[in-house]
Amino acid sequence: MKKAVFLIGLFFITLLSAQDSGTKPMVQKQATTYPDYSVLTTKMSLKDVVTNADTVPEFPGGLKVFKRKYFESIETLDVKIIEKVDTRLYFIVEKSGYVRNITAIGTNKKHAEAAELGLRRIFARWKPATINGEPVRYLMYFPLTSKEF
């Protein structure tokens, strides 16, 4: 079990550490191009939500601190090591900096519920995304996947 959580964490860390940490804004997909867009519209309000901004939301201490806190707070699941994990975590960072509308979509319902609960346990206020200096609602997307062994 510890190996499965470690492998998921390793993949997640590798994915996010490969991101450019420069000052230029990160270009992301439009919300309508996400593979789960039709499901997202039924589970959360996407009114006034953006996926491209001048500055993206920032967790206090940066993404490395967020990843560490997230994996500390996620509940470990009693799953087989060979089980494939394919969960996509979506949430909105509001203009106030608080996280709302957490939705995880995946092939395994237990994984999705654990992913949502892990994020709900982090009580931190993000620095919101901005466009022209004004805070905006921003849709965040984190894939949590592992390969079969």
The predicted structure's pLDDT at residue 35: 66
Please measure the distance between the N-terminal and C-terminal CA atoms of the chain and give it in whole angstroms.
14
Amino acid occupying residue 78 = D
Please state, in angstroms and rounded to a whole number, the distance separating the CA atoms of residues 99 and 107. Answer: 24
The token pair at 34 is: 């996400």
The predicted structure's pLDDT at residue 75: 65
Please state, in angstroms and rounded to a whole number, the distance separating the CA atoms of residues 55 and 147. Answer: 32
The residue behind tokens 């995880």 is 104
The predicted structure's pLDDT at residue 31: 57
**CA torsion angle 35 36 37 40 (round to 10):** -160
Range of the domain at 135: 2-145
The predicted structure's pLDDT at residue 103: 92
The predicted structure's pLDDT at residue 20: 45
Q: pTM for the whole thing? A: 0.70
The predicted structure's pLDDT at residue 137: 93
The predicted structure's pLDDT at residue 26: 38
The predicted structure's pLDDT at residue 28: 43
Residue by residue, pLDDT tens for the chain (149 residues) are: 555 554 455 444 544 444 444 443 334 445 556 667 777 777 887 888 888 899 999 999 998 999 888 888 886 655 444 567 778 889 999 999 999 999 998 878 888 888 899 899 998 999 999 999 999 999 998 888 765 54
The count of domains in the chain is: 1
